[in-house]
Structure 1
């Protein structure tokens, strides 16, 4: 069965899955818009609700600003396509994302980037430093995973899962950044904060002066601070405005 057009895909999936596709395609476009993409080489995945453990991931070979709701590839935990697609799935991307989805039933979306600032901080021995308000939100739920080469081997999965634990921010040493969230909006907002944390740290270090660190007690109370900042809505607080921004620029991600 060849199902590549919007109408064909919509006929094959539930209304809930279609909305998830639209939101995930929007997330890809936003990542491109904010300059976090790395040609075609990183991924954002979303779990489709239900007992099947299916999820959506990008068609390998498309730039993030080309991705649409209907072009997203639906796969199972073994990377078998559930709906035919002319595009492959990147094995390295699948290993990382499927590992997180398998271990974390509480999350829907996994977002991974290779930004210059993110990789720069991931290469620093001390990782994220508590030197900004943004960093406090990251440090409240941050884990690290050592670099083991391009992630295409299944035997890395248990080590990645153990390192991540219940954290929502994962720094992949010498590699990049990863966030997860209960929704696509949550994962995106977390990455926005993570990326800004790294950019601020690199900028602060480039000044050459001694850096002032945040009191550790502030990090301990940051969960409540985030709830206040977003009215308890998390990423959903900013998501509608991001969608409006995207629609003003190009709404073809909905196709």
Structure 2
């Protein structure tokens, strides 16, 4: 079982659960090879009336992140944790704060620079319908043009406008982003997206690939409406996987 520690006295049960889930997501991103040293971020909203969020301590590898090491910040990336000793990269929270503040239901936002995702973000058509997985994610995808390293707070408005009510954003020439009502939902969107990107990169290396019929695309688009619900089934299984590995994410 995963090594755990008692919830700190100053923390609500809801915040501790959010911390445990987000720490697990960091470990899983590392496990699947989607991390980028200490760069990119995964964030989660702290349940409650305040606009507080959890994000990784700056300079930590994803496979080092634990529930207690996550840092609580406000919408500007300012640390609000009592007695916090870890630092954060405020610039890294630019993208996350935009989505969290614009989408009240956005319980988690995951942003990656994984190679296959960046490659597909640079393809003129983005995700192509070359696999069942791709056909399931395509209806959820929006696009945002690259404007440089996300340091300009003015970009937040444009990013949110491009995302709209979609749950997946391809950041052109940059990476991938998913939104979920909770960490498990955001992670399942990212898993399906990254699998679609991996298959696309491999398929196009062999040639143009076979395209399905429009009828198949329409049918799968209708079926894709429930994609986020897959997280309810898959997330507990992923946590069991970490526990079997003896991961200490929950401490």
Separation of aligned partners in 1, 2:149 and 2:181: 27
Query: Is 2:234 aligned against 1:234?
Result: no
Residues 1:48 and 2:46 are matched in the alignment: yes
Partner of 1:71: 69
Taking the aligned partners of 1:78 and 1:203, their CA distance within structure 2 comes to 40
CA contact (8 A) 1:100 1:110 kept: yes
Does structure 1 retain, via aligned residues, the 8 Å contact 2:139–2:224?
no
Distance change (3 Å), C-alpha of 1:216 and 1:99? farther
Match in the other structure for 2:19: 21
Greater relative contact order structure (CA < 8 Å, 6+ sep): 2
Partner of residue 131, structure 1: 130
The alpha-carbon deviation at position 224 of structure 1 amounts to 5.3
3-state SS in 2 of match to 1:11: coil
Q: How does 1:142-181 map to 2 (within 5 A)?
A: 142-181=141-180
Provide the residue aligned with 2:102 in structure 1: 103
Counterpart-to-counterpart distance in 2, 1:217 and 1:102: 38
**Contact 1:42 1:93 (C-alpha < 8 Å) held by counterparts:** yes
8 A Cα contact 1:140 1:220, kept in partner: no
Deviation at 1:88, TM superposition (A): 2.1
Q: Please state whether the residue corresponding to 2:33 is helix, strand or coil.
A: coil
The Cα of 1:246 is off from its aligned counterpart by 0.2
Q: How does 1:201-240 map to 2 (within 5 A)?
A: 201-208=200-207, 210-222=208-220, 225-226=223-224, 233-240=229-236
1:247 to 243, 246, 250: 243
SS at match of 2:134: helix
- Residue equivalent to 1:198: 197
3-state SS of the aligned residue for 2:19? helix
The answer as to whether partners of 2:135 and 2:221 remain within 8 angstroms in 1 is no
**Contact 1:40/1:64 (8 A) holds in 2:** yes
Deviation at residue 91 of structure 1 after TM alignment: 2.7
Deviations 1:164-194 (A, max 9, x none): 0011010000100101111111111111100
Please list the CA deviations of residues 70-112 of structure 1 after superposition, one character each: whole Å capped at 9, or x if unmatched.
0000011121211132222223320000001011112200001
Does structure 2 retain, via aligned residues, the 8 Å contact 1:92–1:150? Answer: no
Would the aligned equivalents of 2:58 and 2:86 in 1 still touch at CA under 8 Å? yes
Three-state SS of the structure 2 residue aligned to 1:174 is coil
Count of matched residue positions in the alignment of Structure 1 and Structure 2: 247
Distance (whole Å) between structure 2 residues aligned to residue 148 and residue 31 of structure 1: 25
The 8 Å contact of residues 185 and 229 in structure 2, kept in 1 or not, is answered as no
